[in-house]
Amino acid sequence: MSANNEHTKQGVKKKRSYTFPVILAILVVGGGWYGISKYIHAQHHEETDDAQVEANISPVIPRISGYVTEVRVKDNQMVKKGDTLLILDDRDMKLKLEQAEAALLTSRSNLEVVRANAGAAHANIATTEASVSTIDAQIETAKVNVWRASEDFKRFENLIKDHSITQQQFEQALAAMQTAEKQLQVLQQQKGQASRQVTAVSSQSNATASQIGVASAAIREKEVAVDDAKLNLSYTVVTASSDGKISKVNVRAGQFVNAGAALFSIVQGDDVWVVANFKETQVGRIREGQKVIVAVDAFPGHEFEARVGSFSPATGARFALLPPDNASGNFVKVVQRLPVRIEFTNNNDSLVNLLKAGLNVDVDIHLDTFN
C-alpha cells in the first residue's frame, strides 16, 4: 500500500515539472515578442500624449470705456463677423461729437472772416497804389509849375534891374515861384507817406494771407477732431471680429467696462490643429510633412489623419512668464519639450469639425511616411 502511494507521488511530481517551464517559455517568448515589436515600432514612430487641440481664439475687447446698456449675445452662441455683441452708453460720445462739429463750424467762420480781411487788405493796396500814381501825376504838374514860375521869376528879375516893372510885379513872381516850390515839396512828402502806406498795407495783406493758412490748418484740426469723435461713437457698438462661437459671457447690462479689458472670447472652430509637445530627445527625426495619426480621447477608436506642419522656434520653457536661467544657482538638467504643430489633412472627416480647443489627444508620427 505504501509502495503504491509513493509511486503516485512521483507521477505527480513528474507531471508538475512541465508546467513551470512551459509558462516561463510563454512569458519569455511573449515578452521578447512584445519588446521586439515595441523596439521596431519605436524605430519608425514618435509618440506623445502631451498634446492638445488648439484653435484661434479672438478676445472681445472694447476700445473705449463706458457703461454697458445692452448685451446681445449669450454663452456658446454662434456669431458672424460684424454681428453686434454689446452696446455701450453713447450719450457722452454724442455730446463730444456735437462739440467737435460746433468747433469746426467756428473755425470755418473764422476762415471766411480772414478771407474777407485779406480781400479788403488787397483792395487797400490797389487804392493806395492808385493814390501814389495820382500824386506822381500831381508832382509832374507841380514840377512844370515850378519850372514856369522859375523862368518867370528870372525874367522879372532882369526887368526889375531895368525898372521895367514895378516892385509889386517882381514880388508877385517871387511869391509864385516859392508857392510852386512849396507845392512840389508837399506833394513829394505826400508821395513818401503814400509809399510807406503801400508798404504797410502790403505787410498787413501778407499777414492776413498767412492767417488764412493758420485758419485752414485750424479747420483741418477740427475736422480730425470730428472724425475722432465719430470713431469713438462707433466704438460704443462692439462687434464680432470673426465668425465663431461665443465663450462664457461675463458682462451684464449696467456694468462699467474699461478700454482694453477682455470681456469674453470668440472661438473660431473652422480651423483647428494640434500642438504636441515632444521631448528634445524625440525631435531629431521629426520632419515637416511626415504623416501623423491623432487619437482624441473624446472620440475613442477613431483615428484622425494629419501631418507635421511646423516647429516652434523655441521650447515651451522659453515662453514661460519666468523662464529658467541655468547660468545662476545650482543647475539641474530637465528634459525640455518643443511644441510641434500638427495639421489635419482629411477634409472629409466630419469629426474634425467637432473637435474643441483644449481636448487631449495622443499623437503618433510615422517617421517613414510623408503627406
Look up the CATH number of the domain holding residue 322. Answer: 2.40.30.170
Q: What is the pTM of this model?
A: 0.64
Residues 272 and 362 in one domain: yes
Residues 275 and 215 in one domain: no
Would 126 be classed as within a structural domain? yes
Which grid coordinates belong to 9?
Answer: 507521488
Would 173 be classed as within a structural domain? yes
Which grid coordinates belong to 238?
Answer: 462692439
Q: Are 283 and 338 in contact (CB under 8 A)?
A: yes
Residues 122 and 162 in one domain: yes
Residues 223 and 124 in one domain: yes
**Which contacts qualify for 133-141: CB closer than 8 Å, 24 or more apart?**
135/187, 135/190, 135/191, 135/194, 136/191, 138/187, 139/184, 139/187, 139/188, 139/191
User: Tell me: the pLDDT tens digits for 292-315?
Assistant: 999 999 999 999 999 999 999 998
Burial code (b: 16+ CB inside 10 Å, e: under 16) for 85-122 equals bbbbebebbeebbeebbebbeebeeebeebbebbeebb
Write down the pLDDT at residue 203.
67
User: What is the number of structural domains in the chain?
Assistant: 2
Task: Write the CATH number for 178.
Answer: 1.10.287.620
User: Tell me: the pLDDT tens digits for 321-347?
Assistant: 877 777 766 777 888 999 999 999 988
Concatenated DSSP letters for 166-219? -HHHHHHHHHHHHHHHHHHHHHHHHHHHHHHHHHHHHHHHHHHHHHHHHHHHHH
- Radius of gyration, alpha carbons of the chain: 52
> Considering only CA atoms, which of 286, 289, 298, 294 is closest in space to residue 355?
298
Would 24 be classed as within a structural domain? no
Would 9 be classed as within a structural domain? no
Beta-carbon contacts of 208 under 8 Å, excluding residues fewer than 6 positions away, are 114, 117, 118, 121
Residues 190 and 301 in one domain: no
Residues 118 and 207 in one domain: yes
Tell me what percent of the residues of the chain surpass a pLDDT of 90: 44
Would 105 be classed as within a structural domain? yes
Write down the pLDDT at residue 125.
65
Would 8 be classed as within a structural domain? no
- Taking the C-alpha atoms of residue 250 and residue 71, their distance in angstroms, rounded to an integer, is 10
Residues 212 and 270 in one domain: no
* pLDDT beneath 70, residues of the chain: 1-17, 41-42, 120-130, 132, 160, 163-165, 170, 195, 198-210, 328-329
Residues 345 and 267 in one domain: yes
Residue 188 belongs to what domain range? Answer: 91-234
Residues 228 and 135 in one domain: yes
Task: Give how far Cα 16 sits from Cα of 9, 291, 332, Å.
Answer: 11, 51, 54
